[in-house]
Structure 1
Amino acid sequence: MSTANAFLSASPASPGFLALLGGTFLFAGCVKGVTGMGLPTVAMGLLGLGMPPVAAAGLLVVPSLVTNLWQCATGTGTGALLRRLWPLLLASAAGAGASAALLARLDPLWTGPALGVALIVYALHALWARPLKVPPGAERWLSPLVGAVTGIVTGATGVFVMPAVPYLQALQLGRDALVQALGWSFTVSTLALAAGLAAHGALRAPQIGWSVLATLPALAGMALGQRLRARLSPQRFRQAFLGLLLLLGLELASRALR
């Protein structure tokens, strides 16, 4: 039995597990509703405090897929956007599917700290790095390279954001196109990770059932976040969100030293 299925077999329907599942996805959905991203990243960070990352990755498959497809449906010009981004998306899918064995097979003693490092790198970059801009002509070879690296990080940690998010921001897409591009990137990564985990026996019916259930608080949180977006300072909320990711990352990464 895989680490993920062993964990879920030992803890389903317990009050603590249900509270962790509901609270995590309600908050992660709220973050996505306010910022347009962050559900998988927040969910992986919070769930990783109480379970192996491979179990957390299985639980976020359906909520991440549903909320990202919702995000993909916004905006116009989808065909042109996909024609531009397909090298990134294809390489990301290939990388995530191929490297999912790392998350499925490695000891949580190592995958937990790896998840923590991924969260730290993303939070620090988003907080302090200067905005990037892709030079003219570089997109042709950068897109598949960034996609492949993103896929490998996704397969190893369950986190979809690095380096795809800063790269997409550097393409100067415009607000609506960027939100849609992030949705497509996360959707492809989610599907590829799910396929990779299933191929290695780390994603089975019990996880899918709990993942479907987790979609309800995720959607409720996303709706709440969209309502709160007009009342909150986006900059302050973003700083608080990234600060939380940094703290979660430090906690998870420090487990390798204990």
Structure 2
Amino acid sequence: MELITNLPVLAAILATFLLAGLVKGVIGLGLPTIAMGLLGMVIAPAEAAALLVLPSLVTNIWQLMDGPKLGPLLRRLAPMQVAVAVGTLLGLWAGLLPGKGGATAGLGAALLAYAAFGLLPLRLPQVPPRAEAWAGPLVGLLTGLVTAATGVFVLPAVPYLQALGLERDRLVQALGISFTVSTLGLAAGLASGGGFGGGALGGSVLALLPALAGMALGGRLRGLVSASTFRRCFFLGLLILGAHLLWQGLH
């Protein structure tokens, strides 16, 4: 991957993953969204998606293990997660690999929708337990397709998981489970298409270091910064970034 020998691009990659890890450490999500959004302006989206694999996987495993009673939550979310994996692989095999077609515009639209949901005083109604049997797989399949097209895992998985009525620590753990499965599906698809070779793997290992450092720092800052203020600034930034990428992808 030639971008590793380009010092300005390398600096941008390291700074991006430091920032993305910091945000994830504070609010429990945002690493792939920030990484794909910012890196998409300096490198090809497919290269950004390849760099994302190891930082996302390791930080998400850290997140899902940091909580009680993982087994029951895994069983509850299993149908959704199987559908996430299937949707991601189907999307990649169908040619939705990030960087093709309208991927930049799609990423911008996804960021805009996610930011708008986070900023508006809207909350989805709680999903009743009887609906999880069909809603979970449907949301998982759609999330997989969005992951394949954009490299971003948050839609519509995050709003759905928030609507399950999980208490805060369980929700953070559930997000870690969903993001881990999405990352594994994306990595498998990229590897099968030759998009995750030795150069990409080396770049992903390098990106892991600032991501972990940022996540550790974010965990420390979590207790010092108002979560509501930080979250509002975060979503405003995503709104601006999403608008820029959507404009860029359509012109």
Q: Which TM-score band (shorter chain)?
A: over 0.9
Counterparts of 1:167 and 1:187, CA distance in 2: 16
**Aligned-residue offset at 1:54:** 1.1
Partner SS, residue 225 of structure 1? helix
Residue aligning to 1:119: 111
CA distance in 2, matches of 1:211, 1:106: 18
- Cα distance in 1, alignment partners of residues 178 and 129 from structure 2: 22
CA contact (8 A) 2:98 2:148 kept: no
Within a 5 Å distance, the mapping from 1:122-141 to structure 2 comes to 122-128=114-120, 130-132=122-124, 133-141=126-134
1:253 corresponds to 2:246: yes
CA distance in 2, matches of 1:113, 1:228: 33
The alpha-carbon deviation at position 230 of structure 1 amounts to: 1.1
Task: State whether residues 116 and 251 of structure 1, in contact with CA within 8 Å, keep that contact through their aligned partners in structure 2.
Answer: yes
The equivalent of 2:162 in structure 1 is: 169
- Tell me if structure 2 keeps the 8 A contact 1:22–1:217: yes
CA distance in 2, matches of 1:92, 1:105: 17
The CA RMSD over aligned residues, in Å, is 1.3
d(CA) in 2 for partners of 1:103 and 1:46? 20
Q: TM-score, normalised by structure 1?
A: 0.93
Q: How does 1:152-191 map to 2 (within 5 A)?
A: 152-191=145-184
> 1:186-225 to 2 correspondence within 5 Å?
186-225=179-218
Residues 53 and 115 of structure 1 are in contact (CA less than 8 Å); yes or no, is this contact kept in structure 2?
A: no
Residue among 9, 25, 30 paired with 1:38:
30
Report sequence identity in percent: 55
The superposition leaves residues 118-176 of structure 1 with CA deviations (integer Å, 9 ceiling, x where unpaired) of 11111111211521211341111100000000000000110000000010010011111
- Determine the structure 2 residue equivalent to 1:54: 46
TM-score normalised per structure 2:
0.95
Contact 2:50 2:196 in 1 (8 A): yes
Distance 1:129 1:191 in 2: 33
149-158 or 97-106, larger mean C-alpha shift: 97-106
| 5+ residue gaps, structure 1 | 1-7
How many residues end up aligned between the 2 structures? 249
